[in-house]
Amino acid sequence: MMGAVLEGFEAARTKHEEEVAEHRRKETAIEEQLAALAALLDEDADLLKQHGFTHEMANRAMHVSHNRSPVITVHYHPDEMHYLVTWMRDGTKISPTAPDECARTIGRLVFEESTQR
C-alpha cells in the first residue's frame, strides 16, 4: 500500500515524463521537417546563389537571405502540422503543409525578390 505522499510523487513524475516525451516528439518533428526542406533547398543551391540567396538553419528555423540580409524565415509548427513562411519585406505569412510546397513558395518569393531589383 502506497502512502499519499508517494502517490502524489508518482503522479507528478509520470506527468513530467509524459510532458518531456511530448516535447521531444515536437522537437524531433521540427528538426525532421526543416531538414527535409533544407535538402530541397540544397538541390537548388546553385540557382539560389546565382540570384544572391543563401539558406541556413538556426534556432529551429530556416533563414533565407539575399545578399546577407534575411528576407525569408521558415518555422515548422508540429501541432498544426504546417510550415510558417514569413516574407520579411512586408510581413506576409504563408502556411504550406509539405516540404515541397514550402520550397515552391520560397522559389516564388526568390523570383519576386530577384525581379524587384
Structural domain span for residue 110: 4-115
Contact predicate 96/84, CB 8 Å: no
Residue pointed to by grid coordinates 533565407: 64
> Which amino acid is residue 96, in one-letter code?
P
The sheet with strand 82-87 has its strands ordered as 53-58, 61-66, 69-77, 82-87, 92-94
Q: Which pLDDT score, from 0 to 100, does residue 4 have?
A: 92
Q: How far apart are CA 14 and CA 89, in angstroms?
A: 46
Contact predicate 115/52, CB 8 Å: no
What pTM value is reported for the model? Answer: 0.84
Question: Taking 80 as the threshold, does the pLDDT of residue 2 lie above it?
Answer: no
Number of domains in the chain: 1
Q: Which pLDDT score, from 0 to 100, does residue 115 have?
A: 83
